Amino acid sequence: MDPPAAPFRQIDRDHMLGLEKGLAVIACFDGAHARLTIADVARMTGLTRATARRCLITLVRIGYADTDGRFFTLTPRVLKLGYAYLASTPLTAVLQNALERLSETIGESSSASILDGGEIVYVARAATKRIMSVGLAVGARLPAYCTSMGRVLLAALPEAEARALVEASDRRALTARTVTGVEAIMARLARARAEGHAVIDQELEVGLTSIAVPVTDRAGRVLAAINIGTQATRFPPDAMVRDLLPKLTAMQADLARML
């Protein structure tokens, strides 16, 4: 079930509501919604059918979408939007280089992400092997409430802001181990804040464990998170903390000196 659409409101004379609506339409498309009708987009965004139609037709005319007359799909041109962020942010290049060194050293996959609402967005990744049933790449999104990087990023926020994001999340049980209760998640955020890292034991996918730490600049501001993801059979949580956390925190310290 799709989450309720956020209301569109004219904030001030400098706020381009049309641009906001167009971007909301683009954001409707994902792995589970690759082909959408006008009615689909209207329902998912809260726009009227007429407005959704105009947005989609505009995207088709400028090359960001295609249609067979009923269904609409995005075109590769949309990648320019994400690439503009990656190319204009030196942080991503620094993180990518760091992750490649880390993964080469430990022989495990590592990733970096930022927080976007209740989700994490992958901005760098060094994969030594495929550990999840769903392939991950730069731009991939996962829920923050049940991921190690999501928890350290949420833990870095003021508690009231983190709670609001958790409460607004679609906290589904992805496995039998997924923690979904708000208070239980908040307790884990408090632990991540106190310990400086977060461990996920098969909450996102059966057989997958991960450990994450925040990435900070010299002033201590949290910019992103980095993690190591592996298989529970090789690294259960205790082993991750014992064997992998020191490698992760060493990279964290290196990054803090560079950022």
Q: Considering the domain 89-258 in this protein, what is its CATH number?
A: 3.30.450.40
Extract the residue ranges of the chain whose pLDDT is less than 50: 1
Q: How far apart are CA 14 and CA 231, in angstroms?
A: 49
Q: Considering the domain 17-77 in this protein, what is its CATH number?
A: 1.10.10.10
| Every domain range in the chain assigned CATH 1.10.10.10 | 17-77
pLDDT at 4: 53
Q: How far apart are CA 120 and CA 259, in angstroms?
A: 21
pLDDT at 1: 47
Q: Which of 123, 137, 149, 128 is nearest to 210 (CA)?
A: 149
Task: Determine the 3-state secondary structure of 216 from DSSP.
Answer: strand
The pTM score is: 0.72
- For residues 228 and 108, is the Cβ–Cβ distance under 8 A? yes
pLDDT at 132: 55
Task: Give the neighbor-by-neighbor strand order of the sheet with 141-143.
Answer: 141-143, 119-126, 109-116, 222-231, 208-216, 198-201
| Every domain range in the chain assigned CATH 3.30.450.40 | 89-258
CA quadruple 62, 65, 66, 70: dihedral positive or negative?
A: negative
Q: Which of 42, 46, 51, 61 is nearest to 19 (CA)?
A: 51
Which pair of tokens denotes residue 22? 């167009």
What digits encode the pLDDT tens for the residues 22-50?
999 998 998 788 999 999 999 999 999 99
Residue 126 CB coordination number (10 Å): 19
What digits encode the pLDDT tens for the residues 158-204?
999 999 999 999 999 999 999 999 999 999 999 999 999 999 999 99
Q: Which residues of 55-85 are buried (b: 16+ CB within 10 A; e: fewer)?
A: bbeebeeeebbebeeeebebeeeeeeeeeee
Q: How far apart are CA 235 and CA 200, in angstroms?
A: 11
